[in-house]
Structure 1
Amino acid sequence: MTYTLSQISKTLNLDFNGNDIEIDGIHTLAEASSSQLSFFNDAKYAFQLPKTKAGAVLIDSEHAKLLPVSTIALITDEPYLKLAYASKLFAHTLSTVSEAPKMGSDCDIDESVRFGSGVVLGENVTILAGCYLGDHVSVGSNTILHPNVTLYHGTKIGRNCIIHSGTVIGCDGYGFAHTKQGEHVKIYQNGNVVVEDDVEIGANCTVDRAVFGSTVIRRGTKLDNLIQIAHNCDIGEHTLCAAQVGLAGSTKLGRNVVMGGQSATAGHLEVGDFSTIAGKGGVTKSLEGGKTYAGFPAVEIKVWRKMQAALMRLVKNR
């Protein structure tokens, strides 16, 4: 879907000065191309403004002067709310149309499986009863989908993967902008999910699609049952997550991270390579790799043990 900037501006009740360029999507300041719209609503990203390649940016008047001359400013005091309204323009159109997938040899597909349009399957793919694969989903060779797996539109699954029953991949991330009256306006999640090769995902997990770009689960990662991966997370290669792990949006886990049962992260942080988060650990800031952490907020486990010992001494001495 492509719109002229004048069409978008009219929808958002905004004015602009500049060429009436065509816009084919929305992305971040750092990733947007000259045919995409972006937004600015957080001063900590001001350093990205002079370098953005976005065709146009939703931005307040104070920071608009920092944009390069090639980028058109759409002046608003509510850039995040306007982003929400704009995101609807580029949302995938849902349809009940079903088409036979393009598939490789030796696939075993239960007759109850339902496909959207443009689905592509590799060789020797097994899909059991009750699964749904939406528009433009791709599944690599030798992958198994157990009963009642749902892959929303645009999801890409690699080779040699196993996805267990009840798991949903590509559902909308939890994103809303808020009006001055306290109403919540949906930000349409127009990215996708990419699951690389040799990944196993347990039963009843949810992996949210990205707002824009991709939520990524990298090669060799193994997820237990009942895990929530929020939008725009990036899960490093060969990571292990035990049951009921929860990752907030834009969390980045390095390679070979281990997360114990019921551990979780806040959003927009990084956990370094070869880190371990003990069960029920709560990660509230980015953590250095190669160490083991525990507690809430998560600290190095030797510190956490000392804290627990000190607390017990206080209790005993009351």
Structure 2
Amino acid sequence: MKTFSAQQICDHLQGELLGTTSHEINSPEQIERANDNQITFIGNKKYEKLWADSKAAVAVVNSDISIEPGDNRAFIKVNNADLAMALVLELFAEPGPQFDEAIHPTAVVHPTAVLGEDVRIGAGCYVGAHVKLENNVTLYANATVLDKVTIGKFSTIWSGAVIRENCHLGAYCIIHPNATIGADGFGFRPCPQKGLVKIPQIGNVILGNGVEIGAGSCVDRGKFSSTILGDGCKIDNLVQIGHNSVLGKFCIMAGSSGLAGSVTLGDGVIIGGSASIKDHSTIGSGAVIGAGSGVIGDVPAGKTYLGYPALEARTTLKQWATLKRITEGKA
């Protein structure tokens, strides 16, 4: 078990230590659950009231903290406690699954595949023809990478993930378990003779650098050309991204949200959990779509939309307030 003193953690965060504690810290924990060998976080002033009853020995706090740590307890002041939390978690993180050998003997690697330096391929993986894995790519057990895929340096493909043929992943990407990159887009047309005719999906998927795709999520290949996710996009679990959608840089999609085909997101768009976006819609840079919302048209840059169907948040909130007054007989 790793342990650190409050001063060691403070030095790591380049923060300011307030108070002292004799307790060694062996893990982080939520403020309500922490014990006296744990460190916690106060990233918002509304949580300051929980400190008195918390058993945590140390808290990472913002510089505007208005309470004192107390006896045998300490605060580590930083500019942003939420960002500092990531550094603390890195201190205590355990190493990932270990590889006894770089390429497991049960892995199938096509002879035309090109592997960079320090590539690791786990048990039961399949790497197809003309695949290119750049330096330090890791495929965990039972990952599948089909023909003509390229994966950039330091990317990680977790168990059960499937990267379909002709798709291209940038550097430092993470594909979590059972995610699928490049499945066929959902394309069918009615036909009097055959019922529904499947439209071939002959495009691919292109992921920029630093893209993360959550467990069980699907990014469909384009009908033609590409489905594109820009650098730094972060996609939660169980998310659907339809064919020929294009995401700008640093977009976020929370769990169970979905884009229909040919949706365009600008840079820094945030899609809340379970929100759905109609096909051929454009969401401008910096826009926010509230959880559970249904977007049926374009959303201007920087706006927050909410509701089903989604409207500008202030309009939706006024509608909800009016409806509440009506149902209470106060209108």
Give the TM-score normalised by the residue count of structure 1: 0.68
Structure 2: 5+ residue stretches without partners: 1-107
Contact 2:181–2:221 (CA under 8 A) maintained in structure 1: yes
Q: Which has the higher contact order (CA 8 A, sep 6+)?
A: 1
Q: Where do residues 2-151 of structure 1 align in structure 2 (5 Å cutoff)?
A: 98-99=110-111, 101-151=113-163
Letter in 2 for 1:171: A
2:266 aligns to what?
254
For 2:245 and 2:133, the matched residues in 1 are separated by 25
| Equivalent AA in structure 2 for residue 111 of structure 1 | A
Residue 179 of structure 1, CA deviation: 1.2
- Over aligned residues, Cα RMSD in angstroms? 1.5
Asked whether the 8 Å contact 1:100–1:117 carries over to 2, the reply is yes
Alignment of 1:277-316 (within 5 A): 277-316=289-328
- Partner residue in 2 for 1:171: 183
Structure 1, residues 122-142: CA drift from partner, whole Å, max 9, x if none? 000011000111110000000
2:225 pairs, out of 213, 228, 234, with 213
Gaps of at least 5 residues in structure 1 are: 1-95
The SS at the match of 1:178 is strand
**Preserved CA contact (<8 Å) 1:100 1:115:** no
Radius of gyration: which is bigger?
2
Once residues 297 and 248 of structure 2 are traced to their aligned partners in structure 1, the CA distance between those partners, rounded to angstroms, is 18
Separation in 1, partners of 2:301, 2:240:
22
Mapped partners of 1:135, 1:282: distance in 2: 37
Aligned with 1:154 (options 154, 166, 172): 166
CA distance in 1, matches of 2:320, 2:177: 39
SS in structure 2 at match of 1:219: coil
Match of 2:87 in 1: none
Match of 1:272 in 2: 284
What number of residue pairs does the alignment pair up? 223
Please list the CA deviations of residues 9-57 of structure 1 after superposition, one character each: whole Å capped at 9, or x if unmatched: xxxxxxxxxxxxxxxxxxxxxxxxxxxxxxxxxxxxxxxxxxxxxxxxx
Deviation at 1:231, TM superposition (A): 0.4
How far apart are 1:145 and its partner, in Å?
0.6
Q: Which residue of 1 aligns with 2:70?
A: none
Percent identical pairs in the alignment equals: 37
Q: Secondary structure of the equivalent of 2:222?
A: coil
SS in 2 for 1:243: coil
Q: Please say if residues 201 and 222 of structure 1, whose CA atoms lie closer than 8 Å, have aligned partners that are also in contact.
A: yes
The Cα of 1:101 is off from its aligned counterpart by 2.0
**Does structure 1 retain, via aligned residues, the 8 Å contact 2:109–2:126?**
no
1:192 is aligned to 2:204: yes
Query: Displacement, 1:97?
Result: 9.8
| Partner Cα separation in structure 1 for residue 191 and residue 254 of structure 2 | 38
Q: TM-score, normalised by structure 2?
A: 0.66
